[in-house]
């Protein structure tokens, strides 16, 4: 065969592969969308997602990489130009993909889809797949590219230089506020997962001494040998999960590790403060290593488990709660599905990681495509797996775990009767049996998504191994896995929040900015931890479960940051003289502005007290003035009224910030497009790469 | 055995175990004569730097 014929054949073969991939994707997506009333196999979701990801990566990311951003391997990256062997290091692209993925994948893509499953698997799944390919991946990729062309500058700096000081300040402010709400809501998830659970609490408590041990090992015995220390930690932590069962069985010991939600919340706040002021090597870093290992391992196992079991989805495609009356969170599909699932579809927080360490480590410009776009596809797949894990549960069981007592009733009989009356049959005995099987006292009203995800994961894992007796172990393994990296995020987030605050205050009085000056460290630590601690405690007190008010706030905050990032991206594209392609960032941005503004408006002004904060506040005031509460309850109710008004104010603040950044950017775009302003792109100078001409 | 060794190397690369050796090699090659940090000093400096920025996401 001559060379031309062989080339033609191979291009034909490649074409055939992509055509069949498209067909498989279309057929699976059709199956997912059309079989709404009969149970379907989880594999349809998995295949549909995988095909669309591959097609999106092959065609859309290629288009963005070479037509829009014109990635150029002849141009030296910061890692090559500024190579210092430390911060700027040309790194293997697969290693970097691992680093980047480990950094972006947190509890968000696990919790969000679990909560959104109350609408049925369809809305969440479609948003996760489409939102990721057209929104999240684009955002991550464009910001990674922008930062890479600017020596690894942060999102805030880029916003300030490319859009203007208003945008820069909004970005900084958005980061601090999103951090506060994020930490509060994930701490609430942990609290709800561990309340009245001696097994879970013991396991998580043990992670502290294990981390301290690893920290000492890494500091004094074998400096920097992270891999060894992590393996030791991993063995100990599995032992702790197994040992928790014995602790839960011995009443005297179990009592030591049994807390109600309020005490647990206070303990977590105290822990967060301690962890954020202790040296990083002692607690934070070793815990981070451990949680990263456990996280990546569990995600990998979950993928294997789903492939091995190929479970049926018990949840229908659409539930009756698409009308906005859902018990997990109130509100219709639009806008609330798009706020509830942020991570996994579009997550603004990623833009901080994409403009952090990663751009300083890229060897060749074209690799930004795999690392920026590819790792977000992986995170989106994690969200699909979480959706599967939530939907393998019987809907009645799912709602019994995830509905707050304030909505369905406090006693097991009342709660299960309410849920059964919705058409999702479940009985109190069934829930008690399940609780016994996983080694918990009760699984009712365990809101926050973690317990139901853990039951789903345990179901899949024990299904793989074919042994129901291991259900309890896997359940607590899954709880430990979620709690472990949520606590890591609390440590790391509180510390970063403290640094940002110190940085800000340092402008007013120099010593406050010094991260080694203990009075300032203490003071700012207290401020940051009390800020998220307040919202956490508010969530614990909330009769509607807290998730109902805090998770949408978090979603709005996260999408606000995504709007900032996409505004910056659009500005850069316009300045690069690529205005005709600006829709790649503009379209997802417009969608997110619509979703966040509608959600914010509804969360503030909606007449239904379960949706609107102000409606709930006036309902509660009505209770007091109507004399429907006793003297003790008046104080509590007044606190609830204040909290609802505070939440309304915070939501309004987020909505205003979105408008400010959008208007500021539009002004800049307009000035450039009518040529009133000469676009100045603040990229680092072009230096020809020494590796130019080599194959990547 | 070879597979295991490769796997360990990849993991060491991912966890940052090999950062110190690489930094020393860099110093030796480009800045001969500068004082090398000890492994412990290097590890601490890296950690303090790493956790002053958002490193983990939601």
pLDDT mean across residues, chain A = 93
Question: Beta partners for A75?
Answer: A688
Q: Select the more confidently predicted residue: A60 or A506.
A: A60
The pLDDT tens digits of the residues spanning B22-35 come to: 999 999 999 998 88
Mean pLDDT within A342-371:
95
> Do A349 and B17 make contact, defined as CB atoms within 8 angstroms?
no
Q: Rounded distance, CA A491 to CA A497, Å?
A: 10
Q: Which residue has the tokens 């208007």?
A: A663
What is the pLDDT, as a whole number, of residue A27? Answer: 86
Residues of B with CB under 8 A from a CB of A: 8, 10-17, 19-20, 22-23, 25-27, 30, 38-40, 42-44, 46-58
pLDDT bucket at A465, cuts 50 / 70 / 90: low
Beta carbons within 10 angstroms of residue A620's beta carbon: 23
Statement: residue A692 has pLDDT above 80: no
The pLDDT tens digits of the residues spanning A554-592 come to: 999 999 899 999 999 999 999 999 999 999 999 999 999
Please give the structure tokens belonging to residue A289.
């290593």
What is the pLDDT, as a whole number, of residue A444? Answer: 94
What is the pLDDT, as a whole number, of residue A693? Answer: 65
Q: Looking at chain A, how many residues does it have? A: 696
pLDDT bucket at B55, cuts 50 / 70 / 90: confident
Angle at A282 between CA A280 and CA A285, to 5 degrees: 50
Statement: residue A695 has pLDDT above 60: no
Contact yes or no for A385/A299 (Cβ under 8 A): yes
pLDDT bucket at A1, cuts 50 / 70 / 90: low
The pLDDT tens digits of the residues spanning A156-186 come to: 999 999 999 988 888 888 888 889 999 999 9
E strands of A230-366, at which residues? none
Contact yes or no for A207/A552 (Cβ under 8 A): no
Q: Rounded distance, CA A393 to CA A557, Å?
A: 30
What is the pLDDT, as a whole number, of residue A5? Answer: 78
> Do B57 and A281 make contact, defined as CB atoms within 8 angstroms?
no
Q: Rounded distance, CA B9 to CA B22, Å?
A: 13
Q: Looking at chain B, how many residues does it have? A: 58
Contact list in B for residue A528 (CB cut-off 8 A) is: none
Q: Rounded distance, CA A31 to CA A688, Å?
A: 50
Q: Which residue has the tokens 């498209």?
A: A22
Q: Rounded distance, CA A58 to CA A576, Å?
A: 24
Q: Which residue has the tokens 């293997």?
A: A92
Contact yes or no for A192/A111 (Cβ under 8 A): no
> Do A349 and B27 make contact, defined as CB atoms within 8 angstroms?
no
What is the pLDDT, as a whole number, of residue A483? Answer: 94
Contact yes or no for A315/A121 (Cβ under 8 A): yes
**What are the extents of the domains in chain B?**
18-53
Question: Beta partners for A678?
Answer: none
Question: Dihedral of CA A47/A50/A53/A57: which sign?
Answer: negative
Statement: residue A417 has pLDDT above 60: yes
Contact yes or no for A616/A608 (Cβ under 8 A): no
Statement: residue A696 has pLDDT above 70: no
Nearest to A558 among B51, B55, B58 (CB): B58
Question: How would DSSP label each residue in A97-143?
Answer: HHHHHHHH-SSHHHHHHHHHGGG-HHHHHHHHHHHIIIIIHHHHHHH
Statement: residue A248 has pLDDT above 80: yes
Q: Rounded distance, CA A646 to CA A667, Å?
A: 32
Q: Rounded distance, CA A169 to CA A386, Å?
A: 35
Least confident of A166-180, A330-344, A411-425: A166-180
Please give the structure tokens belonging to residue A171.
């970005």
The pLDDT tens digits of the residues spanning A423-442 come to: 999 999 999 999 999 999 99
ipTM above 0.90, yes or no: yes
- A519-525's contacts with Cβ under 8 Å and 24+ in sequence apart are A521/A277, A522/A277, A524/A498, A525/A273, A525/A276, A525/A277, A525/A494, A525/A498
* Percentage of the residues of chain A whose pLDDT score is greater than 70: 98
Statement: residue A330 has pLDDT above 70: yes
Q: Rounded distance, CA A197 to CA A209, Å?
A: 20
Contact list in A for residue B49 (CB cut-off 8 A) is: 87
pLDDT bucket at A153, cuts 50 / 70 / 90: very high
Nearest to B54 among A99, A280, A352 (CB): A352
Statement: residue A105 has pLDDT above 80: yes
Q: Rounded distance, CA A663 to CA A491, Å?
A: 35
Widest Cα–Cα separation across chain A: 93
Distance from CA of A345 to the nearest CA of B (A): 12
Please give the structure tokens belonging to residue A531.
């800020």
Interface of A with B in 498-557 (CB under 8 A): 499, 515, 554
The pLDDT tens digits of the residues spanning A624-634 come to: 888 766 777 88
**What are the extents of the domains in chain A?**
16-196+259-673
Chain A's closest residue to B10, CA to CA, is A95
Mean pLDDT within A238-245:
95
Omega before A335 within 30 of 0, i.e. cis: yes
Contact yes or no for A490/A187 (Cβ under 8 A): yes
Distance from CA of A587 to the nearest CA of B (A): 24
Please give the structure tokens belonging to residue B34.
């500068």
Contact yes or no for A362/A371 (Cβ under 8 A): yes
Nearest alpha-carbon partner for A454 in A244, A200, A686: A200
Mean pLDDT within A230-258:
95
Nearest to B26 among A85, A357, A495 (CB): A85
Mean pLDDT within A53-75:
97
pLDDT bucket at A261, cuts 50 / 70 / 90: very high
Statement: residue B44 has pLDDT above 70: yes
């Amino acid at each position: 065969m001559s060379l031309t014929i062989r080339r033609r054949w191979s291009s034909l073969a490649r074409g055939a592969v992509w055509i069949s991939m498209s067909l498989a994707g279309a057929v699976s997506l059709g199956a997912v969308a059309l079989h709404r009333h009969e149970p379907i196999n989880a594999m349809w979701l998995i295949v549909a997602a995988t095909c669309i990801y591959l097609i999106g990566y092959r065609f859309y990311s290629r288009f963005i990489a070479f037509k829009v951003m014109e990635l150029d391997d002849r141009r030296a990256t910061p890692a090559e130009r500024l190579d210092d062997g430390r911060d700027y290091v040309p790194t293997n692209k697969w290693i970097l993909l691992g680093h980047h993925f480990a950094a972006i994948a947190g509890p968000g893509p696990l919790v969000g889809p679990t909560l959104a499953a109350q609408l049925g698997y369809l809305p969440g799944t479609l948003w996760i797949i489409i939102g990721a390919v057209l929104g999240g991946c684009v955002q991550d990729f464009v910001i990674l590219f922008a930062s890479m062309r600017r020596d690894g500058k942060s999102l805030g700096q880029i916003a300030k230089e490319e859009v203007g000081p208003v945008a820069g300040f909004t970005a900084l402010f958005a980061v601090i506020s999103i951090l506060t709400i994020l930490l509060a809501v994930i701490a609430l998830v942990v609290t709800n997962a561990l309340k009245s659970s001696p097994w879970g609490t013991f396991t998580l408590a043990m992670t502290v001494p294990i981390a301290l041990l690893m920290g000492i090992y890494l500091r004094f015995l074998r400096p920097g040998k992270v891999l060894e220390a992590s393996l030791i930690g991993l063995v100990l932590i599995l032992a702790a999960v197994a040992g928790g069962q014995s602790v839960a069985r011995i009443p005297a010991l179990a009592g030591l590790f049994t807390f109600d939600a309020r005490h647990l919340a206070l303990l977590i706040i105290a822990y967060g403060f301690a962890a954020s002021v202790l040296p990083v090597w002692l607690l934070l870093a070793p815990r981070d290593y451990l949680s990263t290992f456990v996280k990546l391992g569990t995600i990998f196992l979950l993928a294997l488990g789903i492939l091995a079991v190929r479970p049926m989805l018990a949840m229908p495609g659409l539930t009756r709660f698409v009308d906005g009356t859902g018990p997990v969170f109130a509100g219709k599909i639009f806008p609330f599905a798009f706020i509830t699932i942020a991570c996994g579809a579009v997550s603004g927080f990623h833009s901080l990681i994409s403009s952090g360490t990663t751009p300083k480590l890229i060897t060749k410009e074209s690799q930004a495509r795999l690392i920026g776009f590819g790792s977000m596809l992986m995170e989106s797949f994690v969200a699909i797996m979480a959706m599967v894990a939530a939907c393998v549960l019987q809907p009645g069981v799912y709602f019994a775990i995830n509905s707050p007592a304030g909505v369905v009733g406090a006693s097991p009989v009342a709660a299960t009767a309410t849920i059964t009356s919705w058409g999702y049959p479940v009985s109190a005995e069934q829930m008690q049996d399940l609780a016994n099987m996983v080694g918990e006292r009760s699984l009712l009203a365990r809101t926050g998504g973690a317990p139901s995800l853990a039951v789903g994961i345990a179901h899949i894992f024990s299904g793989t191994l074919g042994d129901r007796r291991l259900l309890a172990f896997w359940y607590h393994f899954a709880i430990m896995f979620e709690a472990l990296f949520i606590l890591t995020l609390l440590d790391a987030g509180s510390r970063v929040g403290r640094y940002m605050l110190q940085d800000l205050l340092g402008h007013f009085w120099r010593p406050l900015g010094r991260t080694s000056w203990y009075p300032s460290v203490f003071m700012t630590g207290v401020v940051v931890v009390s800020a998220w601690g307040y919202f956490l405690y508010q969530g614990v007190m909330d009769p509607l479960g807290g998730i109902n008010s805090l998770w949408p706030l978090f979603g709005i905050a996260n999408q606000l940051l995504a709007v900032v990032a996409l505004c910056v991206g659009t500005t850069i594209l316009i300045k690069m003289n690529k205005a005709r392609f600006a829709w790649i960032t503009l379209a997802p941005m417009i969608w997110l502005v619509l979703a966040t503004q509608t959600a914010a408006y509804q969360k503030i002004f909606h007449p239904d007290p379960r949706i609107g904060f102000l409606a709930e506040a006036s309902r509660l005031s009505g209770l007091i003035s109507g004399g429907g509460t006793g003297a003790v309850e008046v104080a509590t109710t007044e606190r609830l009224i204040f909290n609802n008004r505070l939440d309304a104010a915070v939501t309004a603040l987020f909505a205003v910030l979105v408008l400010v950044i959008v208007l500021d950017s539009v002004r800049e775009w307009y000035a450039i497009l009518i040529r009133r302003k000469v676009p100045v792109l603040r990229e680092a100078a072009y230096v020809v790469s020494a590796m130019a001409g080599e194959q990547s | 055995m070879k597979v295991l060794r490769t796997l360990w190397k990849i993991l060491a690369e991912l966890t940052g175990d090999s950062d110190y050796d690489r930094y020393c090699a860099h110093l030796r090659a480009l800045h001969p004569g500068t004082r090398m940090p000890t492994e412990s000093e290097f590890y601490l400096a890296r950690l303090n730097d790493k956790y002053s920025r958002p490193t983990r996401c939601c």
